[in-house]
Structure formats: structure tokens, C-alpha cells
Amino acid sequence: MVQKSKTLAAALPTRIEVAVGILIRASDGALLLTSRPSGKVRAGWWEFPGGKLEAGESVEQALRRELQEEIGIIIGNCLPWQITEHDYPHAQVRLHWCKVTQWQGELVMREGQAMAWQQLPLDVRPVLEGALPALQWLSAERGLPFDARVYATEDAAHGA
């Protein structure tokens, strides 16, 4: 039994820790979505900006670094919100969701992404499945209905 558990543990892929920022615009509560750059898995799909934690980094440190590197802003706050997990064929991820309401600098898409300020329900498609729980909770917070089926469909048009 011991040997079997060890083998099983060795076979399980490591869960990847990801820091994700929900940027909320003060004037109207809009949410920032960005498209995944070419060269990445699911290129062109829409997501909230963020990325993987590097060794020794906290969620806030990783989010601060990723948002500076990818969209050119320096965040002023990082309010931990939810933690979710999702299993993709390419990776098993743990998503650390933070709300961000203050930042400095102009948004610059440094990896050739597209960006869109969005109200719920989102107009952009397709959206990463791993982001759907966050969209569901955000919708609930705003008293809005949520239907996961309208997101993440392969045949839906890209972008709005």
C-alpha cells in the first residue's frame, strides 16, 4: 500500500499557483479582461490579468510583478478574495483571486494582448473555464443572473 501511494503521488502533476487580478474601475464598476497572447496555451481566449507565482513569491508579489510586466500598471492594493482550482488538460491550477481597485500608470498591453473593460455578463468570448467561478460570484455580488453555458464555447466568436 505504501509503495502504491508513493507511486500515485509521484504520478500526480503539481498544482500551479496563479495570482489573478480583478481590476475594478471606480467610475462604473467595469472589470478588465485581457486576451491571452499568441504563443500561450489558449491564445486569444479571455481571462483576468495575472500569472504564475515564481519561487518564494507571495500572491501579492506575483500579482504586482505580473501586472507591471504584462499591462504596465503598478497596483496600489490587492484585496484577497477567493481561491479556486481548475484542471485543464495542460495543467492543474490553483487561482488566487484578488480585487484591485487602485493602480497607477496607463494600461499598456506589453504582450500584444487585447483588453476590454466589461460589465457583467461579459461580451467577450471565449473565456477560460477557470475564470467562470469568479464570474459567477461577481454576478451574485451584483445581483445579476449567471449562465456558464454562454462562456467558453469553442464556436463562439472571439471578442466583442
Ligand X SMILES: Nc1nc2c([nH]c(=O)n2[C@H]2C[C@H](O)[C@@H](COP(=O)(O)OP(=O)(O)OP(=O)(O)O)O2)c(=O)[nH]1
Which positions lie near ligand X, rule CB under 6 A?
18, 20, 40, 47-52, 86, 88, 91, 93, 95, 128, 130-131
Residue closer to ligand X by CB (options 95, 100) is 95
Residue closer to ligand X by CB (options 23, 93) is 93
Provide the sign of the torsion angle of the four alpha carbons 142, 145, 149, 150, taken in this order. negative
Residue closer to ligand X by CB (options 1, 55) is 55
CB of 5 to ligand X, least distance (A): 27
CB of 136 to ligand X, least distance (A): 13
What is the rounded distance in angstroms from the CA atom of residue 160 to the CA atom of residue 45? 12
Residue closest to ligand X when measured from CB atoms:
130
List C-alpha distances in Å: 105 to 24, 48, 59, 67. Answer: 15, 18, 21, 11
List C-alpha distances in Å: 62 to 37, 53, 146, 160. Answer: 19, 5, 29, 29
Q: β-strands 31-35, 115-118: how paired? A: antiparallel
Residue closer to ligand X by CB (options 95, 122) is 95
CB of 7 to ligand X, least distance (A): 26
Q: What is the distance in angstroms between the CA of the first residue and the CA of the last residue of the chain?
A: 53
CB of 128 to ligand X, least distance (A): 4
